[in-house]
Amino acid sequence: MPISKTGVVVIDSTCLKCFESAKALEQVRDNMRTVDLQIRLSAINILEVMKTANPTIRNRLLKIIQDVSEGRPFLPWPHDLIKESGQAHARGEKYFWSGDSGYEQSVYGSSIAEQDLDKARKTMNSLETDFTHMHDNARKELRPFLRKHKTVDYWNTAAAFLDEVWTTESHLSDYIRGIWKKIKLPGKAPIEAILEDEVWRIFLEINGFAAFERAVQEKQPKRVHYPDLLQLVYVANNSRRIVVSSDGGFLRAARVILQHRYPNVRVEECSDFLAF
């Protein structure tokens, strides 16, 4: 996944309705062309829409996805990017070309079957359920430990937790080795190269942010769903990047994980982006 000269705009699914107006969409396209930015929709956008129960709303949103993407391939599933990046590192290569999402034909051909919708619902629901279960169990063990050692309020922000605990090389090294083994990549994980890889780095920090808010922080804020967090991986290896959402929790997460940690990142509310 080489560094792209054209900047990327990652749109959270909560913003899709903002692009339903042909006039508004054309204005955004003109603005994007002027500053060499491109909106890239993703497998997560598609699955979020496919799990929508109301068929009328679902079809409207799928039409918006078609219009916004203009025939471009959709960004793949984030875990696929992690594996493809790992395979490139195993070959001693720094970059890789990410494939299509696999949803292009069904979305652009308007040929999504009922079984596809059912699979999308199960995929998204199980992803969030498993992630929640993991962090709930971690919280049961971690909170008593923090109270015992009187560090319960030591990390008072997610940013402090990421900087002081999560992103230390000693911690991330074990995490990387575990992921490397789990996704069955060959040989030993090249830790130093992985730590410099934005695809992996952002993925690891997404998990660190979630660990803080779900397992460490005493008063838990409104939960940011795991599929939403995974969208942040899509800004990796872009020279300029904008993340857009109308979800306050997602915007909070994006600002903590990306701003002041990665260069040339903006995080915007939908209405502000449309006024760009």
For 53-100, the pLDDT digits (tens) are 999 999 999 999 999 999 999 999 999 999 999 999 999 998 888 878
41 vs 12: CA distance, rounded Å: 9
Residue in 68, 54, 55 with CA at minimum distance from that of residue 13 = 68
pLDDT band at 135 (very low <50, low <70, confident <90, very high): low
Please check whether residue 257 is in contact with residue 162, taking contact to mean a CB–CB distance below 8 angstroms: yes
Asked if residue 229 has pLDDT above 70, the reply is yes
Please check whether residue 210 is in contact with residue 135, taking contact to mean a CB–CB distance below 8 angstroms: yes
pTM greater than 0.85: yes
3-state SS, 67-86, equals: HHHCCCCCECCHHHHHHHHH
Asked if residue 267 has pLDDT above 80, the reply is yes
Output the six-digit token pair for 191.
Answer: 């830790």
Residue in 142, 139, 141 with CA at minimum distance from that of residue 151 = 142
Maximum CA pair distance of the chain? 59
Output the six-digit token pair for 243.
Answer: 């993340």
65 vs 40: CA distance, rounded Å: 10
Q: What pLDDT shows up at residue 149? A: 47
Q: What pLDDT shows up at residue 77? A: 94
Mean pLDDT of 150-162: 72
Q: What pLDDT shows up at residue 155? A: 67
In Å, how far are 63, 96, 116 from 108, measured between CA atoms? 9, 26, 14
In Å, how far are 63, 91, 129, 144, 207 from 226, measured between CA atoms? 25, 30, 9, 25, 9
Residue in 153, 276, 169 with CA at minimum distance from that of residue 219 = 153
Q: What pLDDT shows up at residue 160? A: 86
